[in-house]
Amino acid sequence: MPSASALRLQIEHTLERRFPAAFSPVPRTISETATTGIPEVDRLLDGGLPVGAISEITGPVSSGRTSLALAYLAARTHEDCVCAWVDASDAFDSESAAANGVALRQLLWVRCKNRGSQRQVLVDGVVKNPSPTDKPWARLDQALRATDLLLQAGGFSALVLDLGSTAPEHSARIPLATWFRFRQAADRTRCSLLVLAQQPVAQSSAAVVLECAHLNAQSPSQTVLAGCEYQVRTGRVASAAKTLHLAGQRKPPGSVWSATAAAQRSAAAQREVSA
């Protein structure tokens, strides 16, 4: 009498053309995550942002996107990893990065060119370009090419593509093929690609979409802006575990975290005294 394993092999061999590995379970890949540096967000994401995938951090201005990205970079650079920031609108503030604990020597900053007299303006909390003839295609093109180069080069643990000041109607015109290529490259080089944008742009290529929102300001003494509270929601999670986790819930889970400005203000106070 043939053994069970022999029977299994025989059946698998017979059905090989129609059902490859019919009885062999599909290996479940464990998605690697990296901490964001903010415990509340880590709890929301069950560990952190996925490694080797695209994560989108979206929201309007003053919703905490940049603070969240800097916290993530601070955690990465603290682990001696090398990171990059592709700045489509030249909005990166190195003082804020240093205050958040980012090791600037391990950060490659690519500042895309601002050609002409491009001026950002706010319209209903959304950064827009003032003139229809003054469009940021050159900067977007530079940002995408720089991101492509850095992803293909490999070795960067985290890469932030900052489209936070780019108008949504412009960033939405980035072809899906670009995001697909970025996803493949990020997966191959194990690089976490964070996309800061006002609205989701990577669509199905994004493993995680975080929606940020401004909650309220903290000012106990009414004289100093001590900090802000931000709300983060997972807009979309691509991994299977996340899908199961979210099943049955009408609304995606949310999290509230706060960022303080005390250190900056104290530094400013010192400056005032010294001046």
Partner 1 sequence: MVGNCRGPEKRRGPERGKRMSPELYACVYVGEFPAQALLRLNPELATQPVAVLDGRPPLQTVCSLNRLARLTGASLGMTRLEAESIYGLRLIARSPETEAAARAVLFESAAQFSPRLEDVSQQTACSCVLDIAGTERLFGPPETLARNLRAALATAGFHASFAVSANFHTARLKAAAARGITVIPPQQESAALGKLPLAVLGLAEDPAETFAIWGIRTLAELAALPESDLVARLGPQAVDWRKLALGTHSHAFQPIEADFSLEEFCAFETPVEQIDSLLFIGARMIDCLATRASARALSLASLIVEMQLESGHAYQRTIRPALATIDRKFLLKLLQLEIAAHPPQAAVLSLTLSAQAGQSSKVQLGLFAPQTPEPSRLDVTIARLKAIAGDDRVGSPVLEDTHRPGSFRMESFSIANPSSAGKLGESEPAHPRMALRRVRPPAPVRVQLDTLRPVAFRDPEQCFKVAAAYGPWRTSGCWWSTEAWNTEEWDVLAESSGGASVACLLVRDCTRNQWQLEAFYD
On whether the CB atoms of residues 196 and 164 are closer than 8 A, the answer is yes
Q: What is the total count of residues that contact partner 1 (CB under 8 A)?
A: 93
The residue within the footprint of partner 1, chosen from 32, 43, 130, 176 (CB under 8 A), is 130
12 vs 40, beta carbon nearer partner 1: 40
Minimum distance of partner 1 from residue 145's CB (angstroms) = 6
Measured in degrees and rounded to the nearest 5, phi and psi for residue 193 equal -100, 115
13 vs 78, beta carbon nearer partner 1: 78
157 counts as binding partner 1 under rule CB under 8 A: yes
Question: Considering only residues 1-20, where is the footprint of partner 1 by CB under 8 A?
Answer: none
CA distance 47 to 191: 17
On whether the CB atoms of residues 45 and 36 are closer than 8 A, the answer is yes
125 counts as binding partner 1 under rule CB under 8 A: yes
179 vs 257, beta carbon nearer partner 1: 257
CA distance 154 to 191: 7
* CA 167 to each of CA 98, 137, 141: distance values in angstroms, whole numbers, following the listed order: 27, 11, 14
Q: Is 123 left (phi over 0), alpha (psi -120 to 50) or beta?
A: beta
68 counts as binding partner 1 under rule CB under 8 A: yes
Q: Which stretch binds partner 1 (CB under 8 A): 148-156, 175-183, 234-242, 248-256?
A: 148-156
113 counts as binding partner 1 under rule CB under 8 A: yes
Among residues 223, 255, 224, which one has the least CA distance to residue 41?
255
Question: Considering only residues 164-183, where is the footprint of partner 1 by CB under 8 A?
Answer: 164-165
65 counts as binding partner 1 under rule CB under 8 A: yes
